[in-house]
A and B are shown apart, each in its own frame.
Chain A
Amino acid sequence: MMDKPWNNRAWLFVVPVLVVVLFSSLIPMMTVVNYSVQDTMGQNNFFWNGVAWFQGLLDPTSDIGGRFASALVRNLIFSIVILCLELPLGIAVALCIPKQGWKVGASLVLIALPLLIPWTVVGTIWQIFARQDIGLLGAALNAIGIHYNDTQDPTSAWATIVIMDVWHWTGMIALLSYAGLKAIPDAFYQAARIDGASRWSVFRNIELPKLQKVLVIAVLLRFMESFMIYTEPSVVTGGGPGEATSFLSLDLVKIALGQVDLGNAAAMSIVYYLITLTICYVFFTIMTQLDQRKGV
């Protein structure tokens, strides 16, 4: 890490990436900033509006502010719930992946499959699966006497979205953990066997510490993705019933593309982006520090 040579000509290698990413990120971002400080009366007449959009957005008593605050809280709860479910489940699955033979490849391919399904199709699968008339899950739950209706009842809608996300993404955590587990040298396990360590203490003292680094990546990726979730809930519940599963991205798209309320949408975009960035910066700092500690 430390002994990398200084060479400013390395910049030349980075320029192509810089140009493409700047084109795709900076120009659109400037458009957003532009909208966020202006207002319009239609006919493309824009005038300076200062920070009024932001004031409205960050004031929970106003209409848009209340809407934003509740979407934010909903999204945070959602992210935390799915992390609490997916992390332990993913680690458990990783520990159970066969050690050798053709079963290893087969398990890995099957576990990864949901990750490669287009998100709309993931939504469609669960939309169908959860229906009371033609879906197995909905029909089965109602048959055993549980009132379940994912388009009418907020609890059912939440449960469906959460289960869908667990179904969709646990595989990624399992694969990451599996990669971490495979990197543990056999000698560690042999030593543990000689010491007569129990299965639990092997997990607690050998496997979990070694998994730390991949788990930070897993949490970072999962948090990011769940904080921007849009497609799957939009197909399954459309953010409803009411506003029950209307997460940040769903709300933003409704405001931006549905109501074409540019000022509010732009201000919301910026605040949303900054929140994501701040949280991710914390994770990223932890991650690079772990990288360096390992490098020493």
Chain B
Amino acid sequence: MRIQPRTITITAYLLLLFLPIYWLVNMSFKTNAEITGHLSFWPHHPTLMNYAHIFFDPVWRGGFIHSLTYVCLNTVISVSLALPAAYAFSRFRFIGDKHLFFWLLSNLMAPPAVFAMPFFNLYYSVGLFDTVWAVALAHCLFNVPLAVWILEGFISGIPREIDETAALDGYSFPRFFVKIFLPLIANGIGVAAFFCFMFSWVEQLLATTLTTIHAKPIVSVMTQVYSAAGMDWGLLSAAGVLTMIPGAIVIWFVRNHIAKGFALGRV
């Protein structure tokens, strides 16, 4: 079999992509003595100590649970609010629709750094500070507009005749929406949920600003390894490896729709 140049290119790209990740995985199986001792391409004395530390320490476990909780809350809130709005934008014209749409998208473009300080004040004053709800709601700032944008693209790909036929067949609107429409845009919902999950999972600035103890996300637990006595590189690497797993699982589920999803349903 002849090897094509394109195969070589993609393989080379993927190899370079995985070199830094491999290095992290490599370090996560080493003791700190081995890490700082000498450079090696694989662990000579593989250890699961770093992973065990994370699994048995309630602070680390809590970090993972808090992060996953606010990410899931945010995904559910964002997608369920965005669905009717995306339907309205896709199917009807109404007063101010275009301006409203751009205003929504403009929130996607707001630098989180701009909002960090006022969010702190806001959630502190409504008593949500240091809860997973604060982070879940704060991430709505960019995830709700994003979900509206993606779903609007997918919904516009479905001919309006379907809505009209269903109405003629005697379906009430809510029944049509749930029984016929939702299954049709299931892919779109999956992709929107994927994106909300992704952006909420990777965001750190707001998540760490809005929490201190009771809802501390995994990323802020990780930053505390820095300030501890010396650097615990092995532990840090193991935690890093673990944070890649939820993402990898989620990608696997949407792998067939991922390309269209990244084009926001607009291809």
A and B: partners?
Answer: yes
Residues of A within 8 A of B (CB): 4-11, 13-14, 16-18, 20-21, 23-25, 27-29, 31-32, 92-93, 95-98, 105, 107-121, 124-126, 128-129, 133-137, 139, 167, 171-172, 175-176, 178-180, 182-183, 213-214, 217, 224, 227-228, 230-231, 248-250, 252-253, 256-257, 262, 265, 269, 272-273, 276-277, 280-281, 284, 291
Q: Which of B84, B202, B236, B255 contacts A118 (CB 8 A)?
A: B202
CB nearest to B219 among chain A residues: A120
Across-interface contacts of A281 in B (CB, < 8 A): 102
Contact at B202–A134, with CB atoms within 8 Å?
A: no
CB distance from A146 to the nearest CB of B (A): 17
CA distance A124 to B24 in the complex (A): 9
Contact at B267–A214, with CB atoms within 8 Å?
A: yes
Q: Is B113 an interface residue (CB 8 A)?
A: yes
Interface residues of B in 16-33 (CB under 8 A from A): 16-21, 23-24, 27
Q: Is B162 an interface residue (CB 8 A)?
A: no
Number of residue pairs A-B, CB distance < 8 angstroms = 272
Residues of B within 8 A of A (CB): 6-7, 9-10, 13-14, 16-21, 23-24, 27, 35-36, 39, 77, 81-82, 84-85, 87-89, 91-95, 97, 100, 102, 104-119, 121-122, 137-138, 140-141, 144-145, 148, 198, 201-205, 209, 218-219, 222-223, 233, 236-237, 239-240, 243-244, 246-248, 250-252, 255-256, 258-260, 262-264, 266-267
Contact at B9–A96, with CB atoms within 8 Å?
A: yes
Across-interface contacts of B263 in A (CB, < 8 A): 176, 179-180, 214, 217
Q: A113-B17, A125-B24, A272-B111 are in contact. List 18 more A-B contacts (CB 8 A).
A: A7-B94, A13-B85, A16-B81, A20-B140, A28-B122, A96-B6, A112-B258, A120-B219, A120-B223, A121-B244, A124-B222, A176-B263, A178-B259, A228-B113, A230-B205, A252-B113, A257-B117, A273-B114
With A93-B9, A224-B109, A228-B112 already in contact, the answer to whether A107 and B39 are too (CB < 8 A) is: no
CA distance A108 to B24 in the complex (A): 22
Contact at A172–B262, with CB atoms within 8 Å?
A: yes
Question: Is chain A's interface secondary structure helix, strand, loop, or mixed overall?
Answer: helix
CB distance from B106 to the nearest CB of A (A): 6
